[in-house]
Amino acid sequence: MTAGVRHNVSFETNNIVLIALVAILYSLFKMATVLRSQCAFARLFAGKTVQILNNSTDLGAKLGPGSQSVLSRKYSNYAHSPFVTKIKEQYDYEIVKKPAEWAFVERLLPFETIPAVSPKESYPSGWIPPKEEAANLPYFIARTKNHEVPIYLEITYRGMRKITKIRKIEGDIWLLNDEIKSYLKEKNNRYVETRVHEIGRFIETKGDYVHDLMQWAYSKGF
Amino acid sequence: MGSRQITEKSLSMLRSLPRISLQNIRDNPNSKLKNKRGRAQHGGDKHGAGNKGSGQRQNFMRLGYETGNNPFYLRIPQEHYYRGHHLRREYPPLTLHELQRIIDKDCVDTSKPIDIASLIKSGFYNFQPDLKQFGINLTDEGADIFAAKINIEVQWASEQVIAAVERNGGVITTAYYDPHSLLLLKNPKKFFESGQAIPRRMIPPSDLIEYYTSAKSRGYLADPEEISKERLKLAQKYGYTLPDIEKDSDYKMMSERKDPRQIFYGLEPGWVVNLKDECILKPKDQELLSFFNS
Amino acid sequence: MTSALISAIKRLHISVVPQIRVFSSNAVSVSSLDQNTLSITKKDWAFKPQYTKPREVWIENIDTIEEQKLGLFELHPLVYAASPRIDIIHQNVIWQKKIRFVSWAHTKTRAEVRGGGRKPWPQKGLGRARHGSIRSPLFRGGGVAHGPRSGKTHFFMLPFHLRLNGLTTTLSAKLAQDDLHIVKDLILPTDNPEYLNDLIEKRNWGPSVLLVDDTDYAPRNITVATDSIPHVNIIPVYGLNVFSMLKHDTLVLTQAAAERIEERLLKWLNADTRRQQQAYKLNQV
């Protein structure tokens, strides 16, 4: 067997094996439901089976001829069941340190931090990467940790109020505000009211101009 | 330039201001509302409970009661068209466009086979196995812009989706996972930390066997020969030349599939993964091995 | 002048530790000039600073009372040059105080006040108001209706990002106000607390100093010295909090501690924090 997948199913596998598998699927299905419940039971003991000792051995006394069998006593009550003290390992197992399959385990673990996007020729999904030249401008709009431009639409008052918010602004915010106002005025032939929040480092525009501002941000390279 | 930049300006202002200490900090004005007591006509009086009746006396009628007339919840009869709706399986959708976004943003490794675990790890897709959600339904929105060569395993895919994936030289498989296996795939770290042995994946229920054994839906239990025939048929139907994946350099990765009883790539049922000590406990006993390998 | 030298060297992309004499404006004794090695390390950023310039700090020594600059160190702007949000600092401080606070005020309800089991007078006939017990809240000496109940905790969790930004803001404020010093390590020549007091006096560090080390075990001398001085305290990196940073006038980090703080904070600023945001959230079904 290879270190990776158990059976490397390639397109040249024998038909007969698969047909046989399909043929016994129904019977297996029946079996599976039973085995599954047994599995659940076994799971409680974390892979190792426990030799459930009866009361007398737990207390250290010798097993007498008239001692009760395990199955007749039901240890379903926590208060009345003895503590598990001696776990006799019935099944053999081996501990493989630094196994070859560890790469597969690491692949399943979650990311520490959101991965950086490596440069590619094209991004078919329509994602536009930031440009290096954007750092030379007097203002800057940083990308979010998911590498998106932080321009959002806030809708309140049952859809009556629409505000476009540009977050994560650095540099000269007032100059950015002037540029945005003039750009939106050019594009929409109307005055656009904005609100500059220096401490919060954001600008809000009254109205839904998300698309326009995103285009403007991409053109600047943010 | 420095004085116009907001962060630099505020930090340089701090240099000439007294030291920030516990005695000279405060919250933004008007950020905390004063806790007004409900008193008098507009603020309190009856405190929204009205006059007399069960409302003011806090002795309400049962929910749905309509003071004697036939209530709504008893008036409407059962409709047979929704019988068993609570038992039906759901497959929350994932568009091909979204999948392309995940690939573009490097949140999934295209040089390895993609399965539901890697898509959940990316953070773009999530589902709840407890709510009878049985996996990913890859939809065809974005099939025209999809341009990635991947080996992907989903739970449901339509013909257009299969065509879109195979046109780019990729491989798509539909596989069944029982709800317990899905819980494991959703949060593998939590499962490994619980110290349990990896269980076997269950086989599909009777109404799904047909779907997962047919080559048309690229089922994981289907005959590979049939699948090759279907690939050719689909290429002819949608009008693209079927890329010869056998001559591809990634052929080994592309043809990598899980065993029908396997949940995670590379990890067999019966193994116990110890994350802390970075080791794997493998059973040696014949009884256990025959059980987990069955 | 030194900064021009350093920037010139940086432009040459030297990554090795060069031996350069530092001609600082302070009067330096001849003996210390011999050991003058300026370590300039070009930092390998995990998350490259995009726009705001990284901050540069001197690495100082702690084994002599007089200050010696051992090198130059770069700090990430998102952690050490964040916008100073006083409101976030305030919220963090209030949170830290409130989570500890337990109100022991206690009043008795009408059930707990002694007496009042009997109906004081008949319901009808007397012309008086109807009452069921003499200890109802209406009565003088009766129980309190919605009064304080003993052992009321005020625990709540400030949202994850507010706590994260609290740390970055406070560190930035400390650095901006010259109250942040980076020290190479915390190895003192003696365990005499007078040595530390003289050092703090000489270098004009505020009377109270918070020393932050990388590990939670420290060299013997510093531990003994800080033990007897109540306003000089040493904590590990995981004990860093906004309240302590504001309570102590000066914040002194070891180089390793500064790096570790930066690493951890940058990690959380760039990680998927959905689980952290959901935890302790109120009104969850």
pLDDT tens for each residue of B59-87: 999 999 999 999 999 999 989 999 999 99
- CB contacts < 8 Å between B and C, how many? 55
Q: Does B278 contact A171 at a Cβ distance shorter than 8 Å?
A: no
Query: Alpha-carbon distance A179 to C277, whole Å?
Result: 35
Per-residue CA distances from A218 to B98, B188, C214 (Å): 21, 38, 42
Among candidate residues A168, A171, A166, the one with its CA nearest the CA of residue A205: A166
Stated pTM of the model: 0.82
Which residues in chain B have their CB less than 8 angstroms from residue A127's CB?
101, 104-105
- Give every strand in the sheet of B137-139, ordered side by side: B93-95, B137-139, B156-157
pLDDT higher at C195 or A43:
C195
Q: Does C267 contact A112 at a Cβ distance shorter than 8 Å?
A: yes
Query: Alpha-carbon distance B121 to B131, whole Å?
Result: 20
Residue C171: which residues within 8 A CB-CB, separation 6 or more? C79, C80, C82, C180, C245, C251, C261
pLDDT of residue B48: 82
Q: Does A145 touch chain B (CB under 8 A)?
A: no
pLDDT tens for each residue of C93-137: 999 999 999 999 999 999 999 999 999 999 999 999 999 999 999
Among candidate residues C277, C243, C249, C241, the one with its CA nearest the CA of residue C94: C243
Q: C195 in helix, strand or coil?
A: helix
Question: Phi then psi for A108, rounded to 5 degrees?
Answer: -85, -20
Q: What one-character DSSP code corresponds to residue B219?
A: B
Query: Alpha-carbon distance B32 to B28, whole Å?
Result: 8
pLDDT of residue A22: 52
Q: Does C84 contact B123 at a Cβ distance shorter than 8 Å?
A: no
In this prediction, residues A199-210 reach a mean pLDDT of 97
Range of the domain at C263: 16-90+156-272
Q: B134 in helix, strand or coil?
A: coil
Among candidate residues A112, A116, A109, the one with its CA nearest the CA of residue A130: A116
Max CA distance (Å), chain B: 84
Among candidate residues B171, B202, B200, B183, the one with its CA nearest the CA of residue B132: B183
Among candidate residues C61, A68, A125, the one with its CA nearest the CA of residue B98: A125
Asked whether residue C138 is domain-assigned, the answer is no
Per-residue CA distances from B233 to B166, B227, C133 (Å): 12, 10, 89
| Among the ranges given (A152-161, B128-137, B226-235, B238-247), the one the predictor scored with the smallest mean pLDDT | B238-247
DSSP string, C74-85: EE-HHHHS----
Query: Alpha-carbon distance A212 to A28, whole Å?
Result: 60
What is the band of A119 on the pLDDT scale with cuts at 50, 70, 90?
Answer: very high
Asked whether residue C105 is domain-assigned, the answer is no
pLDDT of residue A118: 96
Question: Would you say B239 and B163 are in contact if contact means Cβ atoms under 8 Å apart?
Answer: no
Q: Is the pLDDT of residue A24 over 80?
A: no
What is the band of A51 on the pLDDT scale with cuts at 50, 70, 90?
Answer: very low
Amino acid at B152: I
3-state helix, strand, coil in chain B (%, to 5): 35, 10, 55
Q: Does C271 touch chain A (CB under 8 A)?
A: yes
As for how many domains chain C has, the answer is 1
Of A114, A140, A171, the CB nearest to C271: A114
Asked whether residue C84 is domain-assigned, the answer is yes
Q: A102 in helix, strand or coil?
A: helix
Q: Is the pLDDT of residue A39 over 90?
A: no
Q: Is the pLDDT of residue A55 over 80?
A: no
pLDDT of residue B50: 85
Question: Would you say A169 and A179 are in contact if contact means Cβ atoms under 8 Å apart?
Answer: no
Buried b (16+ CB within 10 A) or exposed e, B93-124: ebbbbbbbbbbbbbbbebebbbbbbbbbbbbb
Q: Are strands C209-213 and C250-254 parallel, antiparallel or unpaired?
A: parallel
pLDDT higher at A21 or A77:
A77
- Measured between CA atoms, the residue of chain A closest to residue C84 is A199
Q: Where are the beta strands (DSSP E) in B99-251?
A: 137-139, 151-154, 156-157, 171-174
What is the band of B262 on the pLDDT scale with cuts at 50, 70, 90?
Answer: very high
Query: According to CATH, what is the number of the domain A132-220?
Result: 3.30.780.10
pLDDT higher at A12 or C169:
C169
Q: Does C51 touch chain A (CB under 8 A)?
A: yes
Question: Would you say A89 and B288 are in contact if contact means Cβ atoms under 8 Å apart?
Answer: no
Q: What percent of chain B has pLDDT over 90?
A: 85
pLDDT of residue A59: 47
Asked whether residue C264 is domain-assigned, the answer is yes
Q: Is B18 left (phi over 0), alpha (psi -120 to 50) or beta?
A: beta
Q: Does C83 contact A199 at a Cβ distance shorter than 8 Å?
A: yes
Cα four-point dihedral sign A155, A156, A160, A166 = negative
In this prediction, residues B95-117 reach a mean pLDDT of 97
Q: How far is CA C35 from the centre of its chain?
A: 34
Residue A92: which residues within 8 A CB-CB, separation 6 or more? B283, B284, B285
In this prediction, residues A122-141 reach a mean pLDDT of 96
In this prediction, residues B234-252 reach a mean pLDDT of 91
Q: Are strands C232-236 and C180-183 parallel, antiparallel or unpaired?
A: unpaired
Of A96, A107, A201, the CB nearest to B112: A107
Q: Which residues of chain C have pLDDT under 70?
A: 1-37, 41
Residue A14: which residues within 8 A CB-CB, separation 6 or more? none
Q: C193-202 vs C220-228: helix axis angle to the nearest 10?
A: 80
In this prediction, residues A119-126 reach a mean pLDDT of 96
What is the band of A53 on the pLDDT scale with cuts at 50, 70, 90?
Answer: very low
Task: Please report which helix (H) or strand (E) contains residue C124, including its range.
Answer: none
3 state SS for A177-213: HHHHHHHHHHHHCCCCCEEEECCCCEEEEEECCHHHH
| Among the ranges given (A85-99, B3-17, B204-218, C116-130), the one the predictor scored with the smallest mean pLDDT | A85-99
Q: Does B225 contact A127 at a Cβ distance shorter than 8 Å?
A: no
Of C81, C89, C206, the CB nearest to B25: C89
- Measured between CA atoms, the residue of chain A closest to residue B206 is A26
Question: Would you say C57 and C72 are in contact if contact means Cβ atoms under 8 Å apart?
Answer: yes
What is the band of B49 on the pLDDT scale with cuts at 50, 70, 90?
Answer: confident
Per-residue CA distances from A221 to A29, A145, A169, B92, C127 (Å): 58, 17, 14, 35, 85
Asked whether residue C126 is domain-assigned, the answer is no
Amino acid at B205: P
Asked whether residue C4 is domain-assigned, the answer is no
Per-residue CA distances from A190 to A154, A177, A185 (Å): 21, 16, 5
What is the band of A52 on the pLDDT scale with cuts at 50, 70, 90?
Answer: very low
pLDDT of residue C7: 59
Asked whether residue C31 is domain-assigned, the answer is yes
pLDDT of residue A62: 45
Which residues in chain B have their CB less than 8 angstroms from residue C249's CB?
19, 21
pLDDT of residue A16: 54
Q: Find which of A131, A198, A199 to mutate to test the C interface (most C CBs within 10 Å of its CB).
A: A199
Which residues in chain C have their CB less than 8 angstroms from residue A111's CB?
271-272
Q: What one-character DSSP code corresponds to residue B5?
A: B
| Among the ranges given (A157-171, B187-201, B237-251, B258-272), the one the predictor scored with the smallest mean pLDDT | B237-251
Q: Does C172 touch chain B (CB under 8 A)?
A: yes
Q: Tally Cβ neighbours within 10 Å of residue B48.
A: 9
Query: Alpha-carbon distance B262 to A6, whole Å?
Result: 8
Q: Find which of B22, B23, B25, B31 to mutate to test the C interface (most C CBs within 10 Å of its CB).
A: B25
Our CA-based measurement puts residue B26 at a distance from the nearest CA of chain C, in whole angstroms, of 5
- The top-scoring range by mean pLDDT among A10-19, A53-62, C124-133 is C124-133
What is the band of A73 on the pLDDT scale with cuts at 50, 70, 90?
Answer: low
pLDDT of residue C98: 97
What is the band of A5 on the pLDDT scale with cuts at 50, 70, 90?
Answer: very low
Per the listing, tokens 């020549």 go with C189
Q: Does C176 touch chain B (CB under 8 A)?
A: yes
pLDDT of residue C274: 94
| Among the ranges given (A123-127, A139-143, B49-53, B258-262), the one the predictor scored with the smallest mean pLDDT | B49-53
Q: What one-character DSSP code corresponds to residue C47?
A: S
Our CA-based measurement puts residue A171 at a distance from the nearest CA of chain C, in whole angstroms, of 8
Q: How far is CA C255 from the centre of its chain?
A: 17
What is the band of B35 on the pLDDT scale with cuts at 50, 70, 90?
Answer: confident
Domain with CATH 3.30.780.10 in chain A: 132-220
Of C177, C178, C247, the CB nearest to B22: C247
CATH value of B87-292 in 3.40.50.620, 3.40.50.300, 3.100.10.10, 3.30.43.10: 3.100.10.10
